[in-house]
Amino acid sequence: MGLLQFKKKDALDGAVSPLVEAFLKGYSIEVMPRTAEKIDDFRDLLPADTRVYIAHIEGTPIDDMVATARRLADQGFPVMPHFPARIIRDRATLADWIARYQGEAGVDQALLLAGGVTTPHGDFDSSMQLLETDLFGDFKHLHVAGHPEGNRDIDPDGGMETVTEALHWKQAFSDTTDADMAIATQFCFEAAPVIKWADSLRAAGITLPIHIGVAGPAKLQTLIKFSIACGVGPSLRVLQRRAKDVTKLLLPFEPTQFIADLADHKAAHPDFNITNVHLFPLGGIKTSAGWARDHGGASGVPAAETQG
């Protein structure tokens, strides 16, 4: 296998912003077993040590999840599988999943979330209940979900009260555990409201590092479809404005401006609590990995890893 030589854009393509390059350091990316099957070798796409989340969609067999985790781990990537509370039947099932991930793939990190299903399959309804089992005691990194624009499944009125209360609980849990914890968010498209949300968490005493969700390059129609399905809030207007410009309607939408705005803010405010970028490859893994590479994205252990 010939490894790709990861390089910055050359002068013909435009210079890479050093601020964006710094902001993309330590980025992560998400896959599903069925999309991972299409990639012959992730080492041809991702820098060494890139954290790879594995999304656990309802109906995906745990055998497929563990096999994907094992394959990625064998290729040298730290793996962070999702644990969606509402599709886990009971404590015994959770313990079995953890044992399999640890025993077969050496997994020591997880993203805990409620999950997208409305009716729980069993005993669990929230990520907090998963944490309360104490079954994740051997994990080095535990991430929890964040919603910069709210979550109507949790706060039907469109507010932020319940999701913020949950983050206060998780902050308190983090203060008592040895695991590094962080918030991994839903994807957004507009920097200003994200910055305002992140600042509001810090002001409220929630100091968990934030890994901001970013939709990788994709067709505009694809992004709008996923955004509506995932409950993306006001920043959807960025896509809606783009859809009105017929000259851009057929061009892929890229997160370049969103990332640049956040990178500029991070440079001006070094203690800004958004520490990492997490890519949702809605337009395909190869497309998102290529975009990150072309904008200076490299991985490895980020400077903020000791904080989450």
Please state the separation of Cα 27 from the chain's center in Å. 9
CA separation for the pair 62, 66 (Å, rounded): 6
Task: Give Cβ neighbours of residue 274 (< 8 Å, ≥ 6 apart).
Answer: 194, 195, 198, 209, 210, 211, 212, 262, 266
Percent of the chain with pLDDT over 90: 69
Q: What's the pLDDT at 171?
A: 96
User: 205 or 230: whose pLDDT is higher?
Assistant: 205
Average pLDDT over residues 185-207: 93
Instruction: For residue 252, give Cα distances in angstroms to 210, 219, 230.
Output: 27, 5, 20
CA separation for the pair 87, 14 (Å, rounded): 46
Q: Does an H or E element contain 19, and which?
A: helix 18-24
Q: Which two tokens stand for residue 121?
A: 């399959």
Q: What's the pLDDT at 224?
A: 75
User: 11 or 197: whose pLDDT is higher?
Assistant: 197
Q: Which two tokens stand for residue 261?
A: 């705005």
Percent of the chain with pLDDT over 70: 80
How sure is the predictor about 25, in pLDDT bands with cuts at 50, 70 and 90?
A: very high
Q: Which two tokens stand for residue 183?
A: 């918030």
**Among 265, 276, 274, which residue's Cα sits nearest to residue 200?**
274
For the cut 90, the answer to whether the pLDDT of residue 80 exceeds it is yes
How sure is the predictor about 20, in pLDDT bands with cuts at 50, 70 and 90?
A: very high
Task: Give Cβ neighbours of residue 10 (< 8 Å, ≥ 6 apart).
Answer: none
- Highest mean pLDDT, choosing among 14-18, 175-179, 266-270: 266-270
CA separation for the pair 132, 294 (Å, rounded): 42
Average pLDDT over residues 147-157: 65
For the cut 90, the answer to whether the pLDDT of residue 32 exceeds it is yes
Average pLDDT over residues 53-61: 97
User: 233 or 141: whose pLDDT is higher?
Assistant: 141
CA separation for the pair 211, 217 (Å, rounded): 18
How sure is the predictor about 300, in pLDDT bands with cuts at 50, 70 and 90?
A: very low
pLDDT digits (tens, 9 = 90+) for 182-191: 999 988 889 9
CA separation for the pair 197, 158 (Å, rounded): 14
pLDDT digits (tens, 9 = 90+) for 240-280: 666 655 555 566 789 999 999 999 999 999 999 999 999 99
In the CATH hierarchy, which fold is given to the domain comprising 18-307? TIM Barrel (3.20.20)
User: 160 or 198: whose pLDDT is higher?
Assistant: 198
Provide the residue ranges of all domains of the chain, joining segments of one domain with +. Answer: 18-307
Residues belonging to the chain? 308
Average pLDDT over residues 97-106: 98
Q: What's the pLDDT at 9?
A: 41
CA separation for the pair 115, 70 (Å, rounded): 23
Average pLDDT over residues 111-140: 94
pTM of the model: 0.86
